[in-house]
Amino acid sequence: MPKKIIFITGGVRSGKSQFALELAQKFPGRKAYLATAQPLDREMAERIRRHKGNRPRDWQTLEEPLRVSAILGEKGDHFGLILIDCLTLWISNGLMAHWTEKKFLQEAERLCKACRHTRCSLIIVSNEVGLGIVPDNPSARMFRDLSGLIHQKVAQQADEVYFMVAGIPLQLKKRVAHSAKSIAPRGKKNLVKKASKTSSRHFQEV
């Protein structure tokens, strides 16, 4: 199976992590779960415990709140797939570490570069936080805005993008691989076919 980058987003308790685990089972080779959560209180510690219980026992767990791109560079070649869960907690950890907006965007570029260059497939999970009301404080607005910007960057790198609603995955993007055989001489008939295919692919990704 060729390398893939899959991005899954959606609301809280929408089924993102379970869907990610189901997709991961289709990939061959060793698998790792890169967790960005930190057990800063009892509620989060319990959430982490439940997530660990849902994962297959043969998976390796990598825990890293901030250095996600570095971990991909160090460990990516040792696995067939790494599941990153989740980006919004990574962003939250960055805010607690007093990262500036410039620092966030630099780290997002490093993450995208690491995703492109690592040999293993990647499934990246995040929370959609931009569909509600405007937050009433600057920190929350910064978190919302950074999440949206970083989601766009990751989605651009991804071969497939899914939005989860009530446990149902809605596919927003699927990158189509073109073979050399599909390249035909330019002509009126061929141009019409090409336009038709482009239009069809556009509606699949929107």
- Active-site residues, by number, are 51
Distance of CA 144 to the CA centre of its chain: 17
d(CA 77, CA 81): 9
Centroid of chain to Cα 100: 22
SS3 at position 84: strand
Q: Specify whether the CB–CB gap between 124 and 159 falls below 8 A.
A: no
Q: Any bridge partners for residue 124, and if so which?
A: 7, 84
Query: Is the peptide bond prior to 86 cis by the omega test (within 30 degrees of 0)?
Result: yes
Distances (CA, A) of 60 to 22, 126, 145, 189: 16, 20, 32, 53
Give kind and range of the element (H or E) at residue 83.
Answer: strand 81-85
Give the DSSP per-residue string, 135-185.
PSSHHHHHHHHHHHHHHHHHHHH-SEEEEEETTEEEEEEEPPP--GGG---
